[in-house]
A and B are shown apart, each in its own frame.
Chain A
Amino acid sequence: SSELTQAPAVSVALGQTVRITCQGDSLRNYNVNWYQQKPGQAPVLVIYGKNNRPSGIPDRFSGSTSGNTASLTITGAQAEDEADYYCDSRDSSANLVVFGGGTKLTVL
């Protein structure tokens, strides 16, 4: 299956650590990428490949994978991190892109 499963919502207290997960059989073969989307804005790439951050993304964002589960970890969550987060990867053909359903992160 090429589906990617994310929890619909997660919350974290300000300054604490939160992990957002993405599950799928394809993750045994492919890494994931992670995007942040704030209301009314386009998605922004925050993590790609094994654990790479584009320029300008704070180092509190990190990524990891174990088996069929990928994780986006925010260490010391800030109020501005409140957003929807999406993972993506490829299907078995490596040509079709698959997005997870998204996780809404609330920072309390």
Chain B
Amino acid sequence: QVQLVESGGGVVQPGRSLRLSCAASGFTFSSFDMHWVRQAPGKGLEWVTLISYDGSKKYYASSVKGRFTVSRDNSKNTLFLQMNSLRAEDTAVYYCAKEKREVRPPPLDYWGQGTLVTVSS
């Protein structure tokens, strides 16, 4: 069965960096586009970034562009999110999600359980 397990969250000071990981299993990771979506405490879902199946295409929300970098290691079935220059407003649960192919717009058909990032001094 498909499993997505995020890790790397924690408490970090404003301006510092953090790297999240998402370990994937149960499907051919290298064949699917992947996303990061976040949710601030008590707020709605906010899309963060998309990376194509081969890592050649990356797209970002305007709120994180220039500060966050998405990458993947298909040999290790792992998705990453490097977060730099963190701000208080980046505090959220970060979910990785798998995109379903062959549908437009592609839905996110599997989600991890999320990892909490708290940006605070």
Question: Which A residues contact B (CB, under 8 angstroms)?
Answer: 30-33, 35, 37, 42-45, 48-49, 52, 54, 84, 86, 88-90, 94-102
Q: Which chain A residues lie closer than 8 Å to B107 at the CB level?
A: 33, 45, 48-49, 88
Please measure, in the bound complex, the distance between the C-alpha atom of A43 and the C-alpha atom of B59, giving whole angstroms.
Answer: 21
10 contacts between A and B (CB under 8 A): A35-B45, A37-B45, A45-B107, A84-B44, A88-B105, A88-B107, A89-B105, A97-B37, A97-B47, A98-B47
B72 interfacial by beta-carbon distance below 8 Å: no
Please give the distance in Å from B37's CB to the nearest CB on chain A: 8
Which B residues fall within an 8 A CB radius of A?
Answer: 35, 37, 44-47, 50, 57, 59, 61, 95, 100, 103-105, 107-109, 111-114
* Chain B, residue nearest A98 (CB): B47
CB-CB under 8 A from B113, the residues of chain A are 42
Given the complex, which residues of A lie within 8 Å of B44, measured CB to CB?
Answer: 84, 86, 99-102
